[in-house]
Amino acid sequence: MVARGVIGLSRVHWRRYGAAVIGQLQRSSLSAQLNIAEGFAYGNSPTYTGFLGIAYGSAVETIELLELAAGTRIFPPEFVTDLLAHAIGARNCLLALLKHRRRFS
């Protein structure tokens, strides 16, 4: 969800001066999503937990970049609000899952 939203925002609101931020935002949001999927392929293993940790870091990075993009008006803040809420929700879910898995591993 977040990666799709970032790609959509990037298409409509791409700014040359924000190219580095937009590019990193695309990579971090996609990284979060793909690390969850890749880790899941390892089943209930410590490797899966490791991938979830990477996904969590990417989710945190995505949130920081969305806040930066809104604060510097690379993206209009009103278009970032819902996407930021989804990113925060995903980060919180990942953190809860990580805590659960680390407690029982």
- The full set of domain ranges for the chain reads 2-103
Average pLDDT, the chain: 95
CB 20 within 8 A of CB 78: no
CATH class, 2-103 region? mainly alpha
Over residues 42-93, the pLDDT tens digits come to 999 999 999 999 999 999 999 999 999 999 999 999 999 999 999 999 999 9
In angstroms, the CA 53 to CA 48 distance is 9
Whole-model pTM: value is 0.93
In angstroms, the CA 93 to CA 48 distance is 15
Q: What is the pLDDT of residue 13?
A: 92
CA distances to 25, 41, 104 from 84, rounded to whole Å, are 12, 28, 31
